[in-house]
Amino acid sequence: MNMMSEAAVEKALDRQMNDISYKMIGKDVSVYYGEKRALYDVNLNVRENTVTALIGPSGCGKSTFLRTLNRMNDTIDGCRVTGRITLDSDDIYDPNIDVVELRARVGMVFQKPNPFPKSIYENVAYGPRIHGLAKAKADMDAIVEQSLQKAGLWNEVKDRLHEGGTGLSGGQQQRLCIARAVAVSPEVILMDEPCSALDPIATAKVEELIHELRTNFTIVIVTHSMQQAARVSQRTAMFHLGNLVEENDTDKMFTNPDDQRTQDYIMGRFG
Amino acid sequence: MSQVSTSPALGIATKPERRDIGLRRRYAAERRFRLYGMAAIAFGLLFLFLLLFSVVSKGYTAFQQTMITIPIEFSQQIIDKNNERATNPQKLVTANYPVVARNALAKVLGVSEDDRAGLKAVNGMISDSVRVQLRNLVTADPSIIGTTQTVTVLAHGDLDSAFKGQIDLTVPETNRKVSDKQVGWMNQLAESGALSKHFNTGLFTNGASSRPEAAGVGVALIGSLYMMLIVLVLSLPIGVAASIYLEEFAPKNRFTDLIEVNINNLAAVPSIVYGLLGLAVFINFAGFPRSAALVGGLVLTLMTLPTIIIATRAALKAVPPSIRSAALGLGASKMQTVFHHVLPLAMPGILTGTIIGLAHALGETAPLLLIGMVAFVADVPATPMDPATALPVQIYMWANEAERAFVERTSGAIIVLLIFLILMNVGAILLRRRFERRW
């Protein structure tokens, strides 16, 4: 009995190692801003329960690609996306897909902490409320507490849940934004340079948090910091001038990349 | 303990020659600019002070009114000689009440009932409005006929001016409106306490009158109030809805650009043009009544809409895009994003714009002249469909009157209008504070 279960565990682990399941698949994704083309036929797959880091010099299209994953590009006038992106098996650019539902499944954390000018509680409760995830006040309280705990913020704010979210420090605000995204229970969380406005200590906390969130969520993170990519991600994708240069295991990427440009970028020769 | 020596070998870099980077010139320019600014503000304050001083010094007397308190005998002989009031209800309405008042005052002053010139002079001291006042007293309670009641009646406008010291008594008697005899009586009555100044409640309750002492801004106040309500109820929702649609939902293309340009142009259209439009559309085409607060309100709504739309769009634009991204990223619909997050943050700006638009509309005169609100309206309008005037129009009409007593009333009405404008602006500031939130 004991042996069997051990074997089962081993088998499960084995499957995890070999059968990679892809949460999102991007095929020949191109993005145009008006006449200007920002992405050239990117083929990039996002693995489930994995942190995928997107790196590359400024203006290389990594944020653009990130924003195609929950159709935040729709809000930009003149932005056009071609190719195919699937979430599980759904084509997210299919006319039958509702963008509101998509964004409830693919949450987002932005570069600059952007809490709503409301209380901490209201910030976290807003998403579940509009999606009708909590029936009673007790359910909502539970969601808020769990989300804040997942974001590692609960102990710091539990006594002042009804004070303004904008009164927190920058790092706390960003973790509040993460809690807000987590509260909707998305499947994927997109993070667009979440630490670029934070000091090193706050950055360390957010990175630790990303590490923990991986068990429940699939995470795609855009970062300018190579060290951050190396610390938090399992897979790394390198963009340059709108092209996907290389996508690989993070360890391999930072020790023995396949592409010369990746090597140059990581060594700091450009970018 | 080694001695720390201040080493003479410590090299100090040689100071380079000082460059002329124009510091003196730059500071002088700054000082000059500050001076210009202060001069401009001082200039503005001076004129504001002059304006307020001129209006208040001329207008404050309008809030007081000279009144005469005398015992009046409601003589059966004059009011209803043949005792036919039971059969002829018109009798009490058409009775000669001014004579009742004149006789009462003549008795107090000791003027004989046979002295026709004296009686005429006495009559000139009492306002003609006494007719209405006594008639109302008698029709309300006919039993006072035959008794003597102490009644406070309005002094004539000219006597009011004289008592307030506004008539130059050094001018020859024939060239002024009050005779020396009347002035003497006035002083006599004032000494006995029968004639004195009271707070002028009539200024706020009475309608139009050709007798300045009985004229008030009551009808104009109610007309203005109706119009403000109509403007608020119509222009706020329409203006805010239009701005939200244009700013948040409408695609940015040539057509919406055209609309935007046109809204900006409409804000600059002279207000009298809106008056002509109102005359053509609301009165000639739609058949609404002339001089009505309803039409005035509709015209002012048209005039206020561009102001509100421009202010609202500016307020919506000022909401940081990160708030919109945050809400959209959580899966809020466009509508939820706007109504839950953008609109509350834009609220202070919207309210300020609305109240400034309303204040603008409150002080607008020209369009109202064209739709017939420059009318002699004595009765308080019961509904917005009834004839009414507006405060600025009332001021305009009084400014055209010749009597001395209308001059102070014109300034008095300006003070009332200014107080309303100040109250509205204070309201705007308070609402702004109330809704303002940091982000």
Task: Tell me the mean pLDDT in the region B320-345.
Answer: 92
CA distance A41 to A34: 17
Task: Tell me the mean pLDDT in the region B358-383.
Answer: 90
Assess contact for A55 and A112: CB atoms under 8 A.
no
Q: Do B325 and A75 touch (CB under 8 A)?
A: yes
Low-confidence ranges of chain A (pLDDT < 50): 1-3
Picking from A103, A117, A180, the nearest residue to B328 by CB comes out as A103
Q: For residue A271, tell me if it sits in a domain.
A: no
- Which tokens go with B389? 């005037």
- Contacts A–B by Cβ distance under 8 A: 68
Q: Which of residues 75-114 of A touch B (CB under 8 A)?
A: 75, 77, 100-104, 107-108, 110, 112, 114
Residue A269 CB neighbour total at 10 angstroms:
10
The model's pLDDT over B189-238, given as tens digits with 9 standing for 90+, comes to 999 888 999 999 889 988 888 888 889 999 999 999 999 999 999 999 99
- The residue among A48, A53, A45, A43 whose CA lies nearest residue A21 is A48
pLDDT at A13: 53
Assess contact for A54 and A223: CB atoms under 8 A.
yes
The model's pLDDT over B165-203, given as tens digits with 9 standing for 90+, comes to 888 888 888 888 888 889 999 999 999 888 999 999 889
pLDDT at B374: 87
Tokens 């009492």 locate to: B126
Structural domain containing residue A91:
2-266
pLDDT at A5: 57
Q: Do A180 and B437 touch (CB under 8 A)?
A: no
Q: What's the ipTM?
A: 0.85
**Distance from first CA to last CA of chain A, Å, rounded?**
56
Q: What is the number of domains present in chain A?
A: 1
Q: For residue A122, tell me if it sits in a domain.
A: yes
- Which tokens go with B198? 């009271």
pLDDT at B386 over 50: yes
Q: Percent of chain B, pLDDT > 70? A: 97
pLDDT at B35 over 80: yes
Assess contact for A261 and A238: CB atoms under 8 A.
yes
CATH number where A25 lies: 3.40.50.300
Assess contact for A150 and A179: CB atoms under 8 A.
yes
CA distance A176 to A180: 6
Higher-confidence position of B82 and B108:
B108
pLDDT at B221: 93
The model's pLDDT over B116-163, given as tens digits with 9 standing for 90+, comes to 888 889 988 999 889 888 998 888 888 888 888 899 999 998 899 999
- Which tokens go with B116? 């026709």
Domain B218-435 has CATH 1.10.3720.10: yes
pLDDT at B439: 45
* pLDDT band at residue B1 using 50, 70 and 90 as cut-offs: very low
pLDDT at B2 over 60: no
Task: Tell me the mean pLDDT in the region B372-393.
Answer: 90
pLDDT at B418 over 90: yes
pLDDT at B380: 87
Assess contact for B410 and B398: CB atoms under 8 A.
yes
**pTM for the predicted model, two decimal places:** 0.82
Instruction: List Cβ neighbours of B394 (8 Å cut-off, separation of 6 or more).
Output: B208, B217, B219, B220, B413
- Which tokens go with A132? 């009708």
Q: What are phi and psi of B372, to 5 degrees?
A: 85, 20
Task: Tell me the mean pLDDT in the region B299-311.
Answer: 94
Residue A21 DSSP code: P
Q: For residue A59, tell me if it sits in a domain.
A: yes
Q: Do B331 and A184 touch (CB under 8 A)?
A: yes
A166 contacts on B by Cβ (under 8 Å): 438-439
pLDDT at B4: 54
* pLDDT band at residue B427 using 50, 70 and 90 as cut-offs: confident
The model's pLDDT over B65-98, given as tens digits with 9 standing for 90+, comes to 999 999 998 888 888 888 887 788 788 888 888 8
Tokens 């690989």 locate to: A248
B332 contacts on A by Cβ (under 8 Å): 100, 126-127, 130
Q: Do B330 and A77 touch (CB under 8 A)?
A: no
B439 contacts on A by Cβ (under 8 Å): 117, 166
Assess contact for A262 and A54: CB atoms under 8 A.
no
Residue A95 DSSP code: T
Q: What are phi and psi of B413, to 5 degrees?
A: -65, -35
pLDDT at B323: 92
Of all residues in chain B, the one with the smallest CA distance to A67 is B329
